[in-house]
Amino acid sequence: MITIAVANQKGGVGKTTTAINIATAMAATGWKTLLIDLDPQGNASTGMGVMAADREVSSYDILVDEVSLRDCVSKTNIPGLDIVPATVDLSGAEVELVSVKDRTSRLSRALAGHHGHEICFIDCPPSLGLLTLNALGAADTLLVPLQCEFFALEGLSQLLQTVEQVQQRFNPDLGIIGIVLTMFDRRNRLTDQVADDVRDCLGDLVFEAVIPRNVRLSEAPSHGLPALIYDHNCAGSRAYMTLARELIGRLPERRKAA
């Protein structure tokens, strides 16, 4: 299974929207896909239509109680896409794990040897704590949503430093599969300037696909649906399908699930 963490230490960059819709797009192209919600807010779970009352087991159980991954997976209404939801208990997980010796490798151990899916996306919280470190320790690579604004560049610099530290300390194979520009507004000159600066700095690491500011992307979570299901013809949905095709081109040879 290829494991991709969707992370950015800065909040409000479209991280959860990206996780939900790229997972949906991958499932739509025939990949057996798993989405792990590691954000205590549980927005990815809600956005996939998994209500709080239905989350009997969650990513909290994996990290704190070491429940097997298979026992925490829930089906979604989208064929080929499963989810490990998050509950509010996850907000206390960092405190509970502080004194645990293997506190940064709980998720990695849970994912090891899992053969039920071909690709896994982890929606990380917008902070660098034990939850995000667990995700980075378990991931093969990182997908970074980057909002097209000046302060986002500062956050990106911090994230790149974090990746280097994770590589040095406990996951030397962690890479960055790409950076996707989100909330792109062509009417705003600063948006183009930031995009140009990021591409000048990071070159081919930046995906060609850009995610526009789009009302339908914002509306979809309130209906418990990814935008690709809510309105597959909207500009945001088309952008995520373009991103998925580009992402597939960057992945290693497809690994079949058992």
Q: Which of 252, 235, 254, 255 is nearest to 243 (CA)?
A: 235
- Rounded to 10 deg, the angle between the 150-169 and 130-138 helix axes is 70
Q: How many Å is the maximal CA-CA distance in the chain? A: 51
Identify the pLDDT of residue 258.
42
Q: How far lies 145's CA from each of 41, 59, 76, 155, 170, in Å?
A: 18, 22, 24, 11, 23
Q: Within the chain, how many helices (H) and strands (E) appear? A: 12, 8
Identify the pLDDT of residue 253.
67
Identify the pLDDT of residue 223.
93
pLDDT digits (tens, 9 = 90+) for 174-198: 999 999 999 888 777 778 888 888 8
- Give the domain ranges of the chain: 2-250
Identify the pLDDT of residue 80.
95
Identify the pLDDT of residue 255.
54
pLDDT digits (tens, 9 = 90+) for 115-135: 889 999 999 998 888 999 999
Q: Which residue has the tokens 């509950």?
A: 87
Written as tens digits, the pLDDT of the chain (258 aa) is 999 999 988 778 889 999 999 999 999 999 999 999 999 999 999 999 998 888 889 999 999 999 999 999 999 999 999 999 999 899 899 889 888 888 888 999 999 978 889 999 999 998 888 999 999 999 999 999 998 777 767 777 788 888 898 899 889 999 999 999 998 887 777 788 888 888 888 889 999 999 998 899 999 999 999 999 999 999 999 999 999 999 999 998 655 444
CATH architecture of 2-250: 3-Layer(aba) Sandwich (3.40)
Backbone phi and psi for residue 78, each to the nearest 5 degrees, phi listed first = -100, 120
State which H helix or E strand residue 121 sits in: strand 119-123
Handedness of CA 129, 131, 136, 138 (dihedral sign): positive
Identify the pLDDT of residue 257.
46
Give me 27's structure tokens.
């499932």
pLDDT digits (tens, 9 = 90+) for 216-242: 999 999 999 999 999 999 999 999 999
Identify the pLDDT of residue 190.
75
Give me 220's structure tokens.
């979809």
Quote the pTM value.
Answer: 0.93
